[in-house]
């Protein structure tokens, strides 16, 4: 599931339109945006860039909100902040509370218990409109990078808008005061435009920069998106000038804007660096449509946007978006990743709760006269709505079940010399208790993470920690990516037993190979190349270890001249890159032990075990598929160098299907990393396999 986007709140006012009144074309433009987003989330392949709908929403919101503020400032000479924020509360919080409470119920009904606490935290962050910052922080956490999407992560864009709504009125008040204090009453709009430019330009520059260095963070944080709302705000400030545009020019603007949005939606995809400069296409397209409507909504494009079906969808856009994403996440948890057909059915079904929320909650509270006349009552409604959301989060966290923890957890020690024929290596439905518990196993990581010895993706410096018998002169160097780091607990225990000093050199998503590869964000992983150069220099230098132990994932995409290769070419290039690095160690007369990559399951084991504690066989994965996913590249490289791989997979997946639990220990902390507890129980087998390599 691709990464989620959100529809902003709707304001049924013309705002920046100098004529005032309802703008049917904006209602239709809102429909275009939400339909793009929903189609993208449903998985429809033709709309690979449907996420740009959120950028259209940002422009609309900036335009409408600024128009409302400007109208009040110019007609009354002041801005009543209490009434402004009360309108926002009436418009947003009641529907938000309903959906967040419903999401808590969906979470308990459909999501595995291991996720409930995290979702509860997300609900709290969503109720406070800070979820975008929470998600941005998680996006750079390697250990959570493969976590399933939150059912409320679509609130990130609402958080961006609300943060804009808090700051922008205050800035307008400050700029208006400054202009009037200097006798510039007739230039208020010009002063506001200058102030807005001082925000928008740095925001755009920062967006371009951060998209190139940290795309996950750039997509979510407010600082990279403010310029998009500012474009809409500038339109409101320029409304009086745009109103005199000839109808023919307005018609061209409208169609050009719609074409720009369409091009972005049809040609962009998850590999497009975004937002950055790419976001200019849909945002400027939306701005063109809005500008055309200021001059005339009677153009052909304007009439199509203002047609009744488009107005209906636009009117539901806020509630529709709030509902569709939690339902998609619940469907994925219940039935697996939905196909485009199933996704479309779920999205279509979300119209029902969206319509009910719109009619029974959103409209009545938004248009309640008593709340409009008495802003204090609106704040009380907001407090109640927030309390409902927080209570839902609290109850979700409290509903997390407790699991029995095994006092006796031998793990791999229950397996005999021939694990494939050992009954203890077969998938069982029930065990007496589990270690670690299903709620803790995802955090059961190798010590290198907590000790700060596992290098992140940003830096190239060699980090190292010592384990095992740290006073020993016999040095075992463990090198590679997270698939190597998972063996640190086993080598730590083996080092204690055998008198080895174990030094770790591991890095996130960067194995021991000589090749340029791409990051998950499709950027050149330059720090990996630099780290490998430093690593080879150390391993073959005067302080070389007595043995190098390595392994790694096979999920790398090799770059040649900055371009990715075909699958077959990539496999061959990656195997060659492995053998080149391995050869450098061999040439330095350092023994090399390559541990075969561990099986790669097709399911998230902690999720499954937490949901099926009495039916653990449901969490077992087909052995042939799991071994196939681990790849043949290591074997190809080893064959080229006439090396034998150290194969410990018989003690990890001893039978078909691969069991999720062996010896009361949960084997996996995610689909392809061993739990530290299980890895530690493999220490005797690791010592037996590695010992002969040592001088």
CATH number for the domain harbouring residue 661: 3.40.50.1110
- Let me know if residue 585 belongs to a domain: yes
Residue count of the chain: 695
Tell whether 391 and 434 lie within a shared domain: no
The domain boundary residue, chosen from 340, 375, 398: 398
Predicted pLDDT of residue 109: 96
Collapsing DSSP states into helix, strand and coil, what is residue 480?
strand
Predicted pLDDT of residue 408: 80
Tell whether 422 and 353 lie within a shared domain: no
Tell whether 477 and 570 lie within a shared domain: yes
Alpha-helical runs (H) found in 436-553 = 447-450, 482-485, 488-498, 526-539
- Let me know if residue 218 belongs to a domain: yes
Contacts of 129 (CB under 8 A, 6+ apart): 155, 158, 159, 162, 163
The crossing angle, in degrees rounded to 10, of helices 53-76 and 24-42 is: 150
Tell whether 365 and 430 lie within a shared domain: no
β-sheet bridge partners, residue 549: 478, 593
- Let me know if residue 289 belongs to a domain: yes
DSSP structural state of residue 668: B
- Let me know if residue 1 belongs to a domain: no
Tell whether 120 and 163 lie within a shared domain: yes
- Let me know if residue 553 belongs to a domain: yes
Tell whether 190 and 263 lie within a shared domain: yes
The domain boundary residue, chosen from 352, 377, 398: 398
The domain boundary residue, chosen from 398, 423, 441: 398
Tell whether 383 and 426 lie within a shared domain: no
* Residues of the chain below pLDDT 70: 1-21, 140-146, 185-186
- Let me know if residue 299 belongs to a domain: yes
Instruction: Show the tokens assigned to 609.
Output: 């075990």
Tell whether 241 and 277 lie within a shared domain: yes
Cα–Cα distance between 583 and 589 in angstroms, integer? 10
Q: What residue numbers bound the domain in which 624 lies?
A: 411-693
Instruction: Show the tokens assigned to 526.
Output: 């330059």
Tell whether 419 and 461 lie within a shared domain: yes
Tell whether 459 and 373 lie within a shared domain: no
CB atoms within 10 A of CB 180: 13
CB 680 within 8 A of CB 448: no
β-sheet bridge partners, residue 548: 477, 592
- Let me know if residue 343 belongs to a domain: yes
Count of domains for the chain = 2
Residue 603 CA: distances (Å) to CA of 153, 364, 417: 22, 44, 28
The per-residue b/e assignment along 30-68, b for 16 or more CB within 10 angstroms, e otherwise, is bbbbbbbbbbbbbbbeebbbbbbbbbbbbbbbbbbbbbb
Predicted pLDDT of residue 598: 96
- Let me know if residue 16 belongs to a domain: no
Tell which residue, 667, 658, 610, has the closest CA to residue 426.
658
Instruction: Show the tokens assigned to 350.
Output: 């979300």
Predicted pLDDT of residue 15: 34
CB 610 within 8 A of CB 110: no
Residue 569 CA: distances (Å) to CA of 109, 556, 559: 45, 12, 11
Task: Indicate the Cα dihedral angle 413, 417, 419, 424, nearest 10°.
Answer: -50
Tell which residue, 164, 170, 166, has the closest CA to residue 200.
164
Collapsing DSSP states into helix, strand and coil, what is residue 517?
strand
Tell whether 170 and 70 lie within a shared domain: yes
Tell whether 252 and 316 lie within a shared domain: yes
């Amino acid at each position: 599931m691709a990464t989620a986007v959100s529809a902003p709140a709707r304001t049924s006012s013309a705002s920046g339109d100098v004529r005032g009144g309802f703008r049917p074309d904006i209602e239709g433009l809102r429909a275009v945006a939400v339909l793009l987003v929903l189609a993208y989330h449903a998985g429809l392949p033709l709309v690979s860039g449907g996420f740009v709908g959120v950028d259209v929403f940002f422009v609309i919101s900036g335009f409408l909100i600024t128009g409302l503020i400007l109208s009040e400032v110019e007609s009354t000479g002041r801005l009543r902040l209490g009434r402004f924020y009360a309108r926002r509360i009436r418009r947003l919080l009641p529907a938000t509370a309903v959906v967040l409470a419903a999401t808590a119920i969906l979470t308990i009904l459909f999501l595995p218990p291991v996720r409930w606490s995290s979702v509860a935290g997300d609900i709290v962050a969503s109720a406070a409109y800070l979820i975008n910052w929470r998600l941005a922080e998680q996006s750079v956490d390697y250990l959570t990078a493969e976590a399933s999407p939150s059912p409320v992560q679509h609130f990130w864009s609402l958080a961006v808008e609300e943060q804009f709504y808090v700051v922008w009125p205050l800035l307008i008040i400050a700029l208006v005061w400054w202009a009037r204090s200097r006798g510039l009453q007739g230039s208020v709009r010009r002063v506001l435009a200058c102030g807005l430019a001082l925000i928008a330009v740095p925001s755009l520059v920062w967006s371009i920069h951060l998209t190139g260095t940290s795309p996950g963070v750039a997509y979510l944080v407010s600082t990279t998106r403010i310029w998009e709302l500012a474009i809409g705000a500038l339109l409101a400030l320029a409304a009086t000038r745009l109103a005199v545009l000839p109808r023919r020019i307005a018609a061209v603007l409208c169609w050009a804007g719609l074409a720009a949005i369409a091009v972005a939606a049809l040609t962009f995809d998850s590999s497009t660096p975004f937002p950055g400069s790419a976001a200019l296409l849909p945002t400027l397209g939306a701005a063109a449509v809005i500008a055309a409507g200021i001059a005339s909504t009677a153009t052909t494009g304007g009439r199509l946007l203002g047609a009744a079906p488009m107005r209906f969808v636009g009117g539901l856009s806020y509630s529709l978006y709030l509902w569709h994403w939690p339902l998609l996440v619940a469907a994925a948890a219940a039935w697996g990743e939905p196909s485009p057909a199933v996704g479309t059915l779920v999205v279509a079904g979300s119209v029902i709760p969206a319509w009910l929320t719109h009619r029974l909650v959103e409209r009545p509270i938004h248009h309640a006269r008593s709340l409009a006349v008495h802003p204090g009552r609106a704040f009380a409604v907001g407090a109640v709505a927030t309390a409902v959301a927080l209570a839902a989060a609290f109850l979700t966290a409290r509903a997390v079940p407790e699991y029995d923890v095994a006092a006796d957890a031998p793990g791999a020690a229950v397996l005999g010399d021939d694990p494939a024929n050992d009954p203890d290596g077969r998938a069982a439905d029930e065990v007496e208790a589990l270690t670690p518990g299903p709620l803790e196993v995802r955090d059961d990581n190798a010590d290198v993470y907590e000790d700060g010895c596992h290098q992140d993706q940003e830096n190239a410096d060699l980090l190292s920690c010592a384990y095992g018998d740290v006073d020993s002169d016999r040095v075992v160097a463990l090198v590679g990516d997270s698939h190597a780091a998972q063996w640190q607990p086993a080598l730590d225990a083996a080092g204690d037993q055998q008198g080895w000093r174990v030094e770790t050199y591991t890095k996130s998503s960067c194995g021991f190979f000589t090749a340029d590869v791409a990051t998950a964000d499709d950027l050149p992983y330059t720090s990996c190349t630099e780290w490998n150069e430093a690593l080879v220099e150390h391993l073959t230098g005067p302080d070389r270890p007595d043995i190098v132990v390595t392994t790694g994932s096979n999920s790398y995409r090799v770059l040649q001249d900055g371009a990715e290769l075909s699958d077959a070419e990539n496999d061959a290039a990656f195997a060659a890159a492995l053998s080149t690095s391995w050869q450098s160690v061999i040439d330095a007369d350092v023994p090399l032990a390559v541990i075969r990559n561990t099986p790669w399951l097709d399911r998230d084991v902690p999720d499954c075990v937490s949901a099926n504690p009495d039916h653990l066989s449901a969490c077992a994965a087909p052995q042939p598929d799991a071994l196939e996913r681990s790849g043949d590249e290591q074997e190809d490289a080893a064959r080229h160098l006439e090396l034998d791989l150290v194969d410990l997979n018989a003690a990890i997946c001893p039978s078909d299907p691969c069991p999720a639990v062996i010896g009361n220990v949960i084997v996996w902390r995610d689909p392809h990393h061993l739990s530290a507890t299980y890895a530690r129980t493999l220490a005797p087998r690791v010592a037996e396999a590695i010992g002969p390599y040592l001088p």
